[in-house]
Structure 1
Amino acid sequence: MNHTSNDTQAVKLSGEEVGKHNSRESCWVIIHGRAYDVTEFLPEHPGGAKIILKYAGKDASDEYDPIHPPDTLDKFLDKKFHLGEVDMNTVEQETKEEDPEEQERQERIKRMPILEQCYNLMDFEAVARRVMKRTAWAYYSSGADDEITMRENHSAFHKIWFRPRVLVDVEKVDFSTTMLGTKVDIPFYVTATALGKLGNPEGEVILTRGAKKHNVIQMIPTLASCSFDELVDAAEGNQVQWLQLYVNKNRDITKRIVEHAEKRGCKGLFITVDAPQLGRREKDMRSKFSDVGSNVQSTGGHDVDRSQGAARAISSFIDPALSWKDIPWFQSITKMPILLKGVQRVEDVIRAIEAGVQGVVLSNHGGRQLDFARSGIEVLAEVMPVLRERGLEDKIEIYIDGGVRRATDIIKALCLGAKGVGIGRPFLFAMSAYGLPGVDRAMQLLKDEMEMNMRLIGAAKIEDLDPTMVDTRNLSSHTTVVPTDTLSLGAYDALIGPKEKVSAKL
C-alpha cells in the first residue's frame, strides 16, 4: 500500500504497520501522531543514521522535539515521504525504566530556591546546574578542552578596575543607546545560543519575549530549537532581531536563509567566523548525548561520530572553506548590515573595516572553540587604541561577548569603546530554571545594577563612559592574580576524567 501525502484516506495508519518498517532498508518514524518514511534521509541526517534507527518503527517525538525546529520535516523531507496520520491508540507505548538520576533531579526541582532568591546572573547558573537534565547542562555549560578560555572570559573583567568621577550630577541616569541604528534600553543584546528547547520546552521564544519586554535586541541562532519564522512571529510590534549565520557549504541554502531573514525584517547579519570546525567540548562528549542533531540547515553528509557530543552532531553543514574572499558575495545578496562574529585580533578588525562590513563582535565563542583564545574584553583593549590612532573608531561598530555577568562588565566594555555586549548563557540558565519570569528577572537585575553602577562611577549617560574611567594595566598579563570569585565556584562544573566501570552484581 502506497501512503503518500496526496492520499485522502480517512483510515489512519496502525502502529503495527509502522512497526514493520524498522530497518535501514525501510525506516519509518512517528512524530506527533504522523508517520514519515525517512529511509532515503538516513545518510543525510546531520546527527547520523544511528539515532534515527534507534526509533525506527516507533514514536520518536520526545527525542525529536528539543533539537528540531517544528518546520524541519516540512522543509527538508519531500512531501511524498509524509505518510499520514497514525492511530496512536494502536502504537505500543514503550515502558521506560525508572531512572534514579531523573528521580533525584525531580526531587531537587521540588527544593529549588524561589526566583526572588536569585540576586545576580550567577545565581541562575547555580540553580540551573542542579535542576537541568544532565545532557542539557553538559551542552550549555561546556567549553573547549581544559575550559581555560571559558573561565578567563569571566575572570578577565576582574583585572579591570574603575577610576570613578565624583561630584557628578547622577540624579537622572540614562543608559539607553543605539546598536546598528536601533534604540535599546540598555547596551546588551541576547546573543545566539543553540538548542534552547534542551533547557525549556518552549525554547528561544522565551528569549524573544524577554527581549521585547526590556527593549533589547535578540540575535536569532542558526541552530535554534525553534524555527526562524517562529521566532520572528513571536516578536511584537517593531521589535528588532538580528540573525546569526553559520555559513553552509551549499551557498544556495545560505543565500536562501539570508534573503528570507531580510524579507522578514532582520536588521543585522552576524556571520560566525570562529567556527570552521566546532571545538572539542569534552563535558558534552562525556554526557553521551543521545539526541538528534538540529536540522535548521539541510545538509548532505555522512554519519557523524556521536561520541563527539551534541556540538559535532549539529554542525556537519558548516563550511570550513569560508574566507575573506566570500565577503563581497554576502554584500551582494543583502542590504542588511554585515558583522563578523568571532574576530580575535586587531589586524582582522582593520581588515574587516577595509572589507566594508558594518561591525565585528570580538568573541571566542563563549570559550567553546579554541582554548587559550583571549577574552573579548582583552582584545577590545588592544583594538580600540589602534583604531583611534588611525582615525578608524567611527568606521565600524565594535561589540564583545563572553563572560559578561554583571553590569560592571558592560560598563567596562563601553568605557573601552564597545557599542554593546552580547549575553548568552545567563539567559539560557535563567530560562532553564525559571522560564520567562527567570529571563525577565535576569534582565531587570542587569538594569538595576546598571543604574547603580553608572551613578557610582560618575556617569549620567552612556556618552560619559570613556577610557579614563578604567584602569586596564593588569589586563594583558596572563599571570595576574585576581580575587577568588566565589559565586562562579558555585556554578562551575569541574572537568573530570574517565570513570571506572561499575562491576555487575552477581
Structure 2
Amino acid sequence: MSQQNKGVQISGAEVAQHNNKDSCWIAVRGKVYDVTDFLEEHPGGARLLLKCAGRDATEDYDAIHPAQLIEESLPDSAFKGTVDPSELDRPKLADKSVRNAQKEGKKDPDSPPPLSAMLNVRDFEKVAERHLAENSWAYYTAGADDEYSKAEAELAYRKVLFRPRILRNVGRVDTRTQILGQDVSLPIYISAVGIAKFAHPQGECTLAAAAGREGIAQLVATRSSMSIESIMKARTGGPQQPIFFQLYMHKDAKISDATILKAVKAGVKGIWLTVDSPVTGKRERDERLKANVDVGEQNDKIGGKGKPVQGVAKTLSSTVSPYLDWDTISYIRKLTNLPLVIKGIQSVEDAILAHKHKVNGIVISNHGGRSQDTAQAPLLTLLEINKYAPQIITDKKMQIFIDGGVRRGTDVVKALALGATAVGMGRPFLYSMSSGYGEAGTRRMIEIMREEIEQNMALVGATKISELRRELLNTSRLERDLTTFIAKL
C-alpha cells in the first residue's frame, strides 16, 4: 500500500461523512480506506461494507480476514490516511457471526469442562454448541436444505460392520503412513475449514501448531481467516510439517493464478482443487439467522430494500468460479508441479476420469453435506469405487482420501479397509479449539482419535495400515444402497 498519505491525519467526523454507496470510507486499525470503487467487487457484497461505512470496521474485519488482506486487495490510492479510533462509531448492527466467538453471543455462560472429561469427539461438539456465538455455530454446523446428506454421511459408517480376525499378535500397532509422500503419524488430516477464527482468535494457526506437535497433516482453505504465511510460521513440526492448500478457482483467472503462486511460494506441499461446489448450497440454518438481523438500513443504502439476506456461506462464496472442467487440471499444472488432488469426487465415473488425468489424489467428498442435499454419502462412493473400479485402489498411483461424517476411530479404520489412504475431519477440529480450549483442545481430540484408531486396528487383527483390507468388513447393508448403473466413459 502506498505511503503517500501516511502522515495525513483524518478526523472521525470527516470519516463519518463518507457513509453511503457514493462515498464509502472505512477504518481498520486506525487506517482509513476509500472502498467506494470496491463495493461491487467485494466477495461478501456491497452490503457488508456499507454496514461499516464511515465507521470503525476493525472488529468485523479481523473476525474473518487475514490482517494484510485489505492492503493486498485495494489499490494504493484507496488509503486516505490515519484516524484516532476513539473518534469513530462502530457499526450499530454489528453481526454476531463476525464477532469473536469467545466474547460474543455465548449461549451458556458456564465454564467448559476440563479436557480430561472429554472422552470422544462428540463431547467437543456438545460443548462448542453451548459456547460458540449463535451465528458461528450455525455457519459451522449447517448442511444444505434438510441436511439429509449431512446425516447420511455418518449413518453410512454405521451400516458397515467389522469381521475381526483373532489370535494375531497385536502387541504393537503402527498407524504411520504417507500422504502425497509426506510422513504422518496418523491416517487423518485436518480438512479445509472456513473462518476458523470463529472458534479461536488464532484460527488456522492454532490448528497448525497442534498438527505439528501430533504429526498430522493440515489442509488450509482458500478462505482461511489467517494468512497462509502466518499459518506456515505457526508450524511446530519444522519445515517438513505437511500443509496442503485447498483451492477455490476464482471467477477472475488472474486472481486464481496469484492465489496458487502465493501458496506455492509459502511452501505448501500440494494443491487440492475443490470441485464439488460450483455454486453454494442452500444452507438454511445459516441463512435463517442472518435473515433475523434487521438490515433495513443497509438495503436502503444500496437501493435494494427488502432484498433477501445471504448467510455467511453464500457471502463468502460469491467469487467462486462455476466454469471448471477437466482442462482446469492442465491449467493448474502449468503454474506448479506440486502434487494435485481433486477434492469432491462423488461417483466412480469421475474417479476413473481423475485417474485417467493422472492426478495425484482424489478426495471423496460431498462438501460435508453443505452443497447438494441428498447427494450420496462419501463412504458409499468409496464402496462404489471398490466394487466397480478396484484397479484404481490397487494401482496406488493415485491416492484416495475421504471426508465427511467421521467421528470415531472405527470410521477411520473402515475407510482405510475400503481403500482410502487417509481420512479428513473438518468440523470436529473447529469444535476442539473452541470454548477456550485452543491448541490443547485440538491435541486432546487428536489423542482421542489416535487411541481409538490403534485400539480398533488391534481388535480387528491388524498391526499396520497395509493390513486393513475389505475382507475385515461386512458391507452388505451399505451395498443395498449401491447404484446398479455405471455410465460409459
TM-score for both structures, normalised by structure 1? 0.87
Write the deviation string for residues 112-163 of structure 1: whole angstroms up to 9, x where unpaired. Answer: 3222221101111111111110100000000011100001111110001101
**1:106-505 equivalent positions in 2, closer than 5 A:** 106=106, 108-236=108-236, 237=238, 238-288=240-290, 307-388=309-390, 393-433=395-435, 434-478=437-481
> Judging changes above 3 Å, is the alpha-carbon distance between structure 1 residues 422 and 20 closer, same or farther for their aligned structure 2 residues?
same
SS of alignment partner, residue 385 of structure 1: helix
8 Å Cα contact 2:102-2:199 kept in structure 1: no
Shift of 1:54: 1.7
Alignment partner, residue 39 of structure 2: 42
**1:8-19 equivalent positions in 2, closer than 5 A:** 8-9=6-7, 12-19=9-16
Distance 2:365 2:111 in 1: 36
Greater CA deviation, 325-334 or 366-375?
Answer: 325-334
Write the deviation string for residues 217-255 of structure 1: whole angstroms up to 9, x where unpaired. Answer: 110101111112221222241211101001112222212
Distance 1:317 1:93 in 2: 27
Distance 2:233 2:103 in 1: 36
Amino acid at match of 1:426: P
Distance 1:416 1:60 in 2: 49
Shift of 1:189: 0.6
Alignment partner, residue 81 of structure 1: 78
8 Å Cα contact 1:381-1:416 kept in structure 2: yes
Distance 2:394 2:233 in 1: 38
Distance 2:328 2:141 in 1: 32
Write the deviation string for residues 255-303 of structure 1: whole angstroms up to 9, x where unpaired. Answer: 22222222222111111011110100000000117799xxxxxxxxx99
Distance 2:400 2:103 in 1: 46
SS of alignment partner, residue 62 of structure 1: helix
8 Å Cα contact 1:367-1:402 kept in structure 2: yes
The unaligned stretches of length 5 or more in structure 2 are 296-302, 483-489
Shift of 1:89: 3.4
8 Å Cα contact 1:142-1:281 kept in structure 2: yes
8 Å Cα contact 1:407-1:450 kept in structure 2: yes
User: Is 1:66 equivalent to 2:63 in the alignment?
Assistant: yes
8 Å Cα contact 2:217-2:243 kept in structure 1: yes
The unaligned stretches of length 5 or more in structure 1 are 293-301, 480-506
Shift of 1:102: 11
8 Å Cα contact 1:108-1:130 kept in structure 2: yes
Distance 1:448 1:392 in 2: 28
Write the deviation string for residues 359-381 of structure 1: whole angstroms up to 9, x where unpaired. Answer: 11010000001111111111111
8 Å Cα contact 1:5-1:80 kept in structure 2: no
Distance 1:465 1:450 in 2: 12
8 Å Cα contact 1:5-1:83 kept in structure 2: no
8 Å Cα contact 2:106-2:134 kept in structure 1: no
Q: 2:19 aligns with which of 10, 18, 22?
A: 22
> Judging changes above 3 Å, is the alpha-carbon distance between structure 1 residues 85 and 381 closer, same or farther for their aligned structure 2 residues?
same
> Judging changes above 3 Å, is the alpha-carbon distance between structure 1 residues 250 and 107 closer, same or farther for their aligned structure 2 residues?
closer
Distance 1:261 1:103 in 2: 32
SS of alignment partner, residue 362 of structure 2: strand
Write the deviation string for residues 278-334 of structure 1: whole angstroms up to 9, x where unpaired. Answer: 100000000117799xxxxxxxxx99x762311111111111110112222222221
SS of alignment partner, residue 442 of structure 1: helix
- Please give the root-mean-square deviation of Cα atoms over the aligned residues, in Å: 2.6
Distance 1:107 1:181 in 2: 44
> Judging changes above 3 Å, is the alpha-carbon distance between structure 1 residues 354 and 426 closer, same or farther for their aligned structure 2 residues?
same
> Judging changes above 3 Å, is the alpha-carbon distance between structure 1 residues 397 and 390 closer, same or farther for their aligned structure 2 residues?
closer
Distance 1:131 1:94 in 2: 24
Distance 2:198 2:33 in 1: 24
Shift of 1:104: 10
SS of alignment partner, residue 308 of structure 1: coil
> Judging changes above 3 Å, is the alpha-carbon distance between structure 1 residues 4 and 402 closer, same or farther for their aligned structure 2 residues?
closer
> Judging changes above 3 Å, is the alpha-carbon distance between structure 1 residues 272 and 329 closer, same or farther for their aligned structure 2 residues?
same
SS of alignment partner, residue 270 of structure 1: strand
Distance 1:96 1:332 in 2: 45
Greater CA deviation, 245-254 or 182-191?
Answer: 245-254
Alignment partner, residue 300 of structure 2: none
Amino acid at match of 1:51: L
Shift of 1:401: 0.4
Alignment partner, residue 485 of structure 2: none
8 Å Cα contact 1:200-1:435 kept in structure 2: yes
Alignment partner, residue 5 of structure 1: 3
> Judging changes above 3 Å, is the alpha-carbon distance between structure 1 residues 106 and 342 closer, same or farther for their aligned structure 2 residues?
closer
Distance 1:352 1:310 in 2: 31
Shift of 1:435: 1.6
Distance 2:162 2:6 in 1: 70
Shift of 1:430: 1.1
User: Is 1:51 equivalent to 2:48 in the alignment?
Assistant: yes
> Judging changes above 3 Å, is the alpha-carbon distance between structure 1 residues 52 and 478 closer, same or farther for their aligned structure 2 residues?
same
> Judging changes above 3 Å, is the alpha-carbon distance between structure 1 residues 59 and 172 closer, same or farther for their aligned structure 2 residues?
same
Identity %: 40
8 Å Cα contact 1:66-1:196 kept in structure 2: no
Distance 2:479 2:467 in 1: 25
SS of alignment partner, residue 64 of structure 2: coil
Shift of 1:88: 2.5
SS of alignment partner, residue 46 of structure 1: coil
Greater CA deviation, 245-254 or 464-473?
Answer: 245-254
Write the deviation string for residues 343-396 of structure 1: whole angstroms up to 9, x where unpaired. Answer: 011111111111111111010000001111111111111102333357863231
